[in-house]
Structure 1
Amino acid sequence: MKKVFKTALFTLLALFYQSVAFAQCAMCRASVENNVANGDTSIGAGLNLGILYLFVMPYLIAMVIGYFWYKNAKKKKAKIAMH
């Protein structure tokens, strides 16, 4: 039970700490700074969300595959234990 609580707490803290994760490469930063200098601030926010989307997707896919792998392994283990 303690392990589940610690995992849930860590997950919540990681979700609330995401504002620090907003970052851009040098070219993207120069583009955003140029647009901000011209008065357009909406591109920077969209770019940050796009970067976070691209960052999260591979980890999300890996977690889903890992979940199904674990579920399948658990099912096989239970099947072997019954014999």
Structure 2
Amino acid sequence: MKKSLILMIGFLLINFQNIYAQCAMCRATVENNISDGASQVGAGLNAGILFLMSMPYILIASIAFVVYKKVQQNKLNTSIG
């Protein structure tokens, strides 16, 4: 457990530059919106961020729900028979 945590932190530190580089894309999007004269500069950007942020949570919750139902079904089957 401890070794995997250290490896994960190391991997994130090695790839930090790639993660940081994504900010240039966001900046370019905002600059394009400003040059187009959009009144709400970050509205589309914020909606995209919220969408991308919610997907992993929905996926994890769905998997947890399926596992919970399977465990409950197994408990019911073992107690009956």
Q: For the superposition of Structure 1 and Structure 2, which TM-score range results when normalised by the shorter chain?
A: 0.5 to 0.7
Query: Are positions 1:59 and 2:39 aligned together?
Result: no
Q: Distance in 2 between matches of 1:63 and 1:38?
A: 39
1:10-50 per-residue CA deviation (whole Å, 9 max, x = no partner) reads xxxxxxxxxxxxxx934413531553366313451011101
Alignment of 1:1-80 (within 5 A): 25-33=23-31, 35-36=33-34, 39-80=37-78
Identity %: 47
What TM-score comes out, normalization by structure 2 length?
0.58
Instruction: Report the structure number with the largest CA radius of gyration.
Output: 2
Q: Distance in 2 between matches of 1:75 and 1:46?
A: 43
Question: Structure 2, unaligned stretches of length 5 or more?
Answer: 1-21
Q: Distance in 1 between matches of 2:48 and 2:29?
A: 15
For CA contacts below 8 A with separation 6 or more, give which structure has more relative contact order: 1
Question: Structure 1, unaligned stretches of length 5 or more?
Answer: 1-23
Q: After the TM superposition, which segments of 4 or more aligned residues of structure 1 sit over 6 Å from their partners?
A: none
Alignment RMSD? 2.2
What is the aligned residue count?
Answer: 60
Q: Which amino acid aligns with 1:66?
A: A
